[in-house]
Amino acid sequence: MPFDDHGNLVPGVLPATRSVPHAITRPPYVGLQEPPPYVGDNTYTEDEIAKIRAAGRIASRALDAVGAAVVPGVTTAELDRIGHDAVVSAGAYPSTLGYRGYPASSCTSVNEVICHGIPDDTVLREGDIVNVDITAYLDGFHGDTNRTFRVGAVSEEVDLLIERTHEAMMRGIKAAKPGREVNVIGRVIETYAKRFGYGVVRDFTGHGVGSSFHTGLIVPHYDSAPRFNDVIVPGMVFTVEPMLTLGTHEWDMWADDWTVTTRDKSITAQFEHTIVVRENGFELLTLSE
């Protein structure tokens, strides 16, 4: 059922809503239709950065646990359960659960799903790929990260797409230096991706993150200059999370209002880190160690 006769993904059956112990503090938007407006800039004190790092470590470790479970035969709902349990066991809240009505603790985006795939009874097959995106909320701060996993062995074309999407993210991160405009990040990513003829998704972007899940700062992954000219400064925190495709950058939205696929059903990969800009470079805030 979760794949049609052409091998394309179709909506499956969602698991029951997962529970979070009452002792774990919810972000302010849970139970609301949308988050309260964010007031504040995108820079943080060292104490605040330490809290984003602590949340980010929980999200990254949850991805470690999920990644170890990615094998042919596993469902995306089971991957979500593993990620949920890892976040909650660490005392954090899975930020996506109840964010603008999103029903799960992670996004699981399979093959042609660009982002925001909802975990369901889809059984992963050898050769599929799945991006898992987890955000943890701890002590008032979010850490947001995702990785694309291979289900068993994948084709060389897909293997290279995954490798190069990770490389594109790292190149974008390394381009983020004080004094430059945010649009430098996407320029570097798009230039690299175009070498291989990949599609570069434009309409879903990186973002400021910290005390708010999405602060309003937008970080494009394509060359958007002269727009998105916010000047990068030390202490600024945001995500870099490029989505590259083997075909078009155009997309379709499923009737669930969340799942975004490539319009041509081409395979797509993504990686995401939350970073803080330093005087002399950057620090990754979504590492496991």
Q: Is the peptide bond before 226 cis (omega within 30 degrees of 0)?
A: yes
State both tokens at 97: 């659960």
Q: Which is nearer to Co ion, 3 or 29 (CB)?
A: 29
Could you tell me the two tokens for 251? 């997309």
Among 3, 29, 38, 102, binds ligand MF3 (CB under 6 A): 102
- The residue from 144, 210, 222, 273 that contacts ligand MF3 (CB under 6 A) is 144
Interaction of residue 61 with ligand MF3, rule CB under 6 A: no
Q: β-strands 273-278, 237-240: how paired?
A: antiparallel
| Among ligand MF3, Co ion, none, residue 116 binds (CB under 5-8 Å by kind) | ligand MF3
Q: Is 286 in the site for ligand MF3 (CB under 6 A)?
A: no
**Choice from 60, 105, 109, 239 touching Co ion (CB under 5 A):** 239
According to DSSP H, which parts of the chain are helical?
Answer: 46-68, 76-89, 156-175, 183-194
Q: Identify the residue among 272, 273, 274, 275 touching ligand MF3 (CB under 6 A).
A: 272
Q: Rule CB under 5 A: is residue 80 a binding residue for Co ion?
A: no
Q: Which stretch binds Co ion (CB under 5 A): 24-32, 57-65, 138-146, 249-257?
A: 138-146
Q: What's the first-to-final CA gap in the chain, in angstroms? A: 39
80 near ligand MF3, judged by CB under 6 A: no
Q: What is the 3-state secondary structure (H, E, C) of 111-155?
A: CCEEECCCCCCCECCCCCEEEEEEEEEECCEEEEEEEEEECCCCC
- Tell me the C-alpha to C-alpha distance, in Å, between residue 277 and each of 40, 67, 237, 269, 288: 17, 28, 7, 25, 19
75 makes contact with ligand MF3 (CB under 6 A): no
Do the Cβ atoms of 124 and 74 come closer than 8 Å? yes
Phi, psi of 145 (to 5 degrees): -150, 150
Letter string b/e over residues 69-83, b meaning 16 or more CB atoms within 10 A of that residue's CB:
ebeeebbbbbbbbbb
Token pair belonging to 108 = 């699981």
User: Quick check: 133 binds ligand MF3 (CB under 6 A)?
Assistant: yes
- Residue 114's φ and ψ, nearest 5 degrees, are -70, -45
Q: Considering only the stretches 48-56, 71-79, 177-185, 238-246, report the one whose residues sit in contact with Co ion under the rule CB under 5 A.
A: 238-246
48 near Co ion, rule: CB under 5 A: no
Assess 133 for contact with Co ion (CB under 5 A): yes
C-beta of residue 67 within 8 angstroms of C-beta of residue 150: no
Per rule CB under 6 A, is residue 100 in the interface with ligand MF3?
Answer: yes
259 lies in the binding site for ligand MF3 (CB under 6 A): no
Among ligand MF3, Co ion, none, residue 51 binds (CB under 5-8 Å by kind): none
Residue 133 Cβ vs ligand MF3, minimum distance, rounded to whole Å: 4
Which of 42, 60, 76, 96 lies at the binding interface for ligand MF3 (CB under 6 A)?
96
- Of residues 151, 241, 243, 246, which one binds ligand MF3 by CB under 6 A? 241
Q: Which residues bind ligand MF3 (CB under 6 A)?
A: 96, 99-100, 102, 107, 116, 133, 135, 144, 207, 239, 241, 258, 272
Residues that bind Co ion (CB under 5 A): 133, 144, 146, 239, 272
